[in-house]
Structure 1
Amino acid sequence: MFFHRKRYTNLDDVPTGKTFGEMLQWRKERKAKIKDLSYTIPQCREVDLAFLKRNRTAPLLVWIGHASFLLQIHGLNILIDPVWANRMGFEKRLSPPGLPLDELPQIDIVLVSHGHYDHLDFPTLRRLQGNPQFFVPIGLGRLFRKKGFRRISEFSWWEQAEHGGVSFHFVPAQHWTRRSLFDTNTSHWGGWVIQFGQEPALYFSGDSGYFRGFQEIGERFSIGIALMPIGAYEPEWFMSNQHMTPEESIQAFLDLRASLFIPMHYGAFRLADDTPKEALDRLQREWKRRELPSKQLRILQLGEMYWPT
């Protein structure tokens, strides 16, 4: 029966569930806050869509917005947590996606970190060009098949697969998931480490609170680019087990021993009480306070085509 499906947990059984009373307290606090949402993430003015469609040689990373990225590597077009939705719940999207959905190249692989709606949007997936293979956390395959998708591979933590000379490793995160009243944590959550040739790996954290797993990931992999979340952390008493503050995200980056920090998970959807400007300001202030090299932090514009040289 549906109600007897396996429920997944975090390392050390760290809880992320909240009581109804805590939810009410958060809503009460939110009403008392006055937030300036006028700042929007800059949009790249020159996006070479024709090049993206024909590119099969140059490595490229494009930030779509929130936690959505297009990665072009080893001749593959890879989408990470693709969400082109214009709304999230009752809230309108704060900034448009960096690329038009219908102008994407043919997609080979789609990576999904977990089942929350801001990371998994089936209307987006149905409009993708090509015949992609979907790599998803254990427990999500059932929902994908119910929605009519067939090319599904499910992963538990530390499992991996290869495709076109690229290795995809599903790694732990500290989070939770739910898409309806009765399916809480019936699928898992995590991040992805993408290895290609002899180059340092690319790490996508997914959603996560700060936890000891970052150190283990850094011990197992040599990470170059780290795509790290900096938003949806306020109020911290409510969000801390499931989302990191910008300061915690920097500490996680150091635990990973990665080379380059690229912030994500801010600017598109109002999931918590912090604003995009607050998240960026805290990130840059902490970066300076720790006296970290400026070349190790890259803040992308929406739609910007980037690869470190």
Structure 2
Amino acid sequence: MRIRRFSNQNKVVQQNSYKQFNRWRQERVRKIKNKDYSYQVPNVEPDIEFLKGNTELPSITWIGHSTFLIQIEGLNIMTDPVWAGKMAFQKRLAPPGIPIDQVPPIDVILISHSHYDHLNIGSIRRLSGAKQIIVPAGLSSKLRFKGFSRVKELHWWESARIGETTFTFVPSQHWTRRNPWDTNSSHWGGWIIQKSGADSGPGLLRPDGTSRKVSLHGTGGTSSSESEIMRREIAAGYSADEMTVCDGRPMVCDAPTIYFAGDSGYFAGFKEIGRRFDIDVALMPIGAYEPEWFMGPQHVTPEEALQAFEDTGARWFVPMHYGAFKLADDTPLEALERLEAERCRRKLEENRIIVLPHGETWKLAGNGERK
């Protein structure tokens, strides 16, 4: 049977041939000797007691790379679980924020795509809980072959509802391969996590995949373009003087909409995602972008990540996909420094970028205080 091959929204030439990979590898041998990897993403003591007992407050805990524990509507959700100590023979740069045997039981696992730094079979096996796995189209058969029975796959813009939470698979610009024969045999993308029935902007998607037009923040008959402008103005209006905080972090709301971007090069799809959903928190990649001639079509630079963040109209930005593995020629500190320089250039308020250490839990609601 002929294998289906997935593609990006826009025609883009991916620099992923073995010839191009070998060129990069040869360049890397010379370049990486001069790279400073002394900076390590800090780890803080995780609040395991809170995480295991929490069934009410929405929270985000960064474990490392693209792995987050997200608690929302009573569900424990894990994104791209990877506790591997090595990646492509390179040792992990910093330990995971939570030891895997201390993670609370997981209800839902979201996979963005099949690359090894996002899909680690051993990590999925070791996680406890019911573990409903939701994956991109084309990937479910691989997981069932590995013995996982609770697997559901979605195409772009399709949604699945679990309890009071809806998960929608949204586009990214990337590619997939786990062996020489399965290139692009499964899809790639990001995930929108939101309370079921929550307004998600001008193009709300229902769980059945259909859409309807809605007004934004009580704007009545406002057009979608006007609503988009209003949403960006609202996002830009979060000032440090008006913010409610808890443990030094901003409070969001009781039912936040979270966008987990997975892996992506920069593309127009970020604007479309922003038009369809009213996003509170965007978990965006900032690492593995160098050399840009090789990585550009598949990984955003820190500058492009901020542009994507603005495209989505999200209120807060949490950087990810850096600090755990040597996947490219950039270092964790370089990624953070470029992100901060671009934030200053764009005059974005500092409080809108939440740089988490490994293991910290950002409580998005609760008993905060006015800053």
Give the structure-2-normalised TM-score: 0.81
Which amino acid counterpart does residue 262 of structure 2 have in structure 1? Answer: G
Report the equivalent of 2:307: 251
Distance 1:295 1:182 in 2: 45
Alignment of 1:207-246 (within 5 A): 207-246=263-302
Secondary structure of the residue aligned to 2:333 is helix
CA RMSD of the aligned region, Å?
Answer: 1.1
Q: Match for 2:9 among 8, 11, 18?
A: 11
Report the equivalent of 1:43: 43
Distance 2:164 2:90 in 1: 40
Please give the per-residue CA displacement for 1:167-191, whole angstroms capped at 9, x wherever unaligned. 1000000000110110000000000
2:324 paired with 1:268? yes
Distance 2:152 2:60 in 1: 23
Report the equivalent of 1:154: 153
Secondary structure of the residue aligned to 1:26 is helix
Distance 2:52 2:363 in 1: 17
Displacement after TM superposition at 1:122 (Å): 0.5
Displacement after TM superposition at 1:42 (Å): 0.6
Please give the per-residue CA displacement for 1:207-253, whole angstroms capped at 9, x wherever unaligned. 00000000000000000000000000000011100000000000000
Which amino acid counterpart does residue 59 of structure 1 have in structure 2? Answer: P
Displacement after TM superposition at 1:151 (Å): 0.4
Distance 2:114 2:21 in 1: 21
Displacement after TM superposition at 1:31 (Å): 1.7
Please give the per-residue CA displacement for 1:67-109, whole angstroms capped at 9, x wherever unaligned. 0000011110000111000000110001100001011111100
Distance 2:187 2:13 in 1: 14
Please tell me whether the aligned partners of residues 284 and 305 of structure 2 are also in contact (alpha carbons under 8 angstroms): yes
Over 3 Å counting, the alpha-carbon distance change for 1:82 and 1:222 in structure 2 is: same
Distance 2:27 2:131 in 1: 43
Secondary structure of the residue aligned to 2:264 is coil
**Larger of the two Rg values belongs to structure:** 2
Which amino acid counterpart does residue 10 of structure 2 have in structure 1? Answer: D
Please tell me whether the aligned partners of residues 200 and 222 of structure 1 are also in contact (alpha carbons under 8 angstroms): no
Distance 1:235 1:276 in 2: 14
Displacement after TM superposition at 1:13 (Å): 2.8
Distance 1:298 1:26 in 2: 32
Over 3 Å counting, the alpha-carbon distance change for 1:19 and 1:82 in structure 2 is: closer
Unmatched 5+ residue regions in structure 2? 199-254, 366-371
Q: Match for 2:28 among 27, 30, 38?
A: 30
Which amino acid counterpart does residue 27 of structure 1 have in structure 2? Answer: R
Q: Match for 2:355 among 276, 293, 299?
A: 299
Secondary structure of the residue aligned to 2:63 is strand
Report the equivalent of 1:58: 57
Please tell me whether the aligned partners of residues 67 and 265 of structure 1 are also in contact (alpha carbons under 8 angstroms): yes
Distance 2:46 2:90 in 1: 27
Please tell me whether the aligned partners of residues 56 and 73 of structure 2 are also in contact (alpha carbons under 8 angstroms): yes
Report the equivalent of 1:91: 90
Which amino acid counterpart does residue 3 of structure 2 have in structure 1? Answer: R
Moved more, 170-179 or 17-26: 17-26
Moved more, 209-218 or 122-131: 122-131
Report the equivalent of 1:205: 261
Which amino acid counterpart does residue 151 of structure 1 have in structure 2? Answer: R
Which amino acid counterpart does residue 8 of structure 1 have in structure 2? Answer: F
Secondary structure of the residue aligned to 1:11 is coil
Please tell me whether the aligned partners of residues 58 and 364 of structure 2 are also in contact (alpha carbons under 8 angstroms): no
Distance 1:94 1:65 in 2: 10
Report the equivalent of 2:188: 189
Unmatched 5+ residue regions in structure 1? none
Which amino acid counterpart does residue 109 of structure 1 have in structure 2? Answer: V
Task: State the number of aligned residues.
Answer: 306
Please tell me whether the aligned partners of residues 63 and 96 of structure 2 are also in contact (alpha carbons under 8 angstroms): yes
